[in-house]
Amino acid sequence: MRTLQRAIVAPEVGGEPLPPTFRCFQQNQIVLRRAEVTLVAGPPGSGKSSLALAIAVNLKQPTLYMSADTNAHTMAMRLISMTTGRTQLQSESLIEDEPELATDICRDNTHLFWSFDSTPSLGDLSNEVLAFETQWGTSPTLIIIDNLMDVAMDGHEEFSGMREAMRELKYLARETNACVLILHHTKEGYEGYPCQPRSSVQGMVNQLPAMILTLGQENLGDTSYLCVSPVKNRYGAADPTGRKFVRLMFQPETMQLTDVVS
């Protein structure tokens, strides 16, 4: 038991903002925070994993990335492309033809640690966090779950399992003082362009996250954008309809996500 006064002066309070990874996020109060859960939702192919990886790369803080949805080879391609500006096909060729150089490029992101279990349980996740803490003497600053539907919840129906997983992941965020970033799907065929509303998130898991972002892609002329809408935001402005969003310039072939130059 503690007083709020004591909590405020403690070295790890919980809820502290992480350094901004994009200027437009900072300007629009889209802030990832320690000891909180942020949910990133969208249809398949909307750019959820691309955004999560870009956040992890730009943040440059100790990160545990649970990549159940995507294999190690693909993530290595994406990381090399994001780091060097190569196309993903060029990155794949580099992995095959010059594995030592590809390894060196990946080694430049030593703050990223990975698990590629395709159906991790909550126990598996806890073990990964414990192994991280044992090796490095601290908890991860950022824990990415890619994605919620792949977390194994034995004895639960699909949606009840998602809700129970969310409760456990919120507890994990508080216990580790990490920001837990969860990727999740929206309902197929749900209206909303480019970003879907909060009501489109699958499984009735909207209650627990401090922030929910829905994603969509938009092409304006020759430029592609990843659109991000804060449909729930405990610490800032939100629009549950998804009509208010920010744009990031997005080049999927090279995995480049950058602020729009004004």
The pLDDT of residue 2 = 44
Strand (E) or helix (H) holding 41: strand 37-42
| Cis status, amide bond into 17, omega within 30 of 0 | no
The mean pLDDT value of the chain amounts to 92
262, pLDDT greater than 70: no
Q: What confidence category does residue 194 fall into, taking pLDDT thresholds of 50, 70 and 90?
A: very high
Q: CA angle at residue 179 from 175 to 182, to 5 degrees?
A: 110
pTM for this prediction:
0.93
How confident is the model over 181-190, as pLDDT tens digits? 999 999 987 8
Buried/exposed code over 71-93 (b: 16+ C-beta within 10 A; e: otherwise): eeeebbbbbbbbebebbbebbbe
Q: Give the closest residue to 257 by CA, choosing from 219, 221, 226, 212.
A: 226
Cα separation, 89 vs 36, whole angstroms = 36
Quick one: average pLDDT of 111-125? 94
More confident residue, 193 or 212: 212
pLDDT exceeding 90 applies to what percent of the chain? 84
Structural domain count, the chain: 1
How confident is the model over 3-45, as pLDDT tens digits? 444 445 454 557 899 999 999 999 999 999 999 999 999 999 9
Residue 179 lies in domain: 4-259
CATH code of the domain in which 10 resides: 3.40.50.300
Query: Quick one: residue 104, left, alpha or beta (phi over 0 = left, psi -120 to 50 = alpha)?
Result: alpha
The pLDDT of residue 204 = 87
How confident is the model over 80-92, as pLDDT tens digits? 999 999 999 999 9
Sign of the dihedral defined by the CA atoms of residues 244, 246, 251, 257, in that order: negative
44 Cβ neighbours under 8 A, 6+ residues apart: 185
Cα separation, 111 vs 113, whole angstroms = 7
Quick one: average pLDDT of 74-99? 96
pLDDT exceeding 70 applies to what percent of the chain? 95
Phi, psi of 124 (to 5 degrees): -60, -45
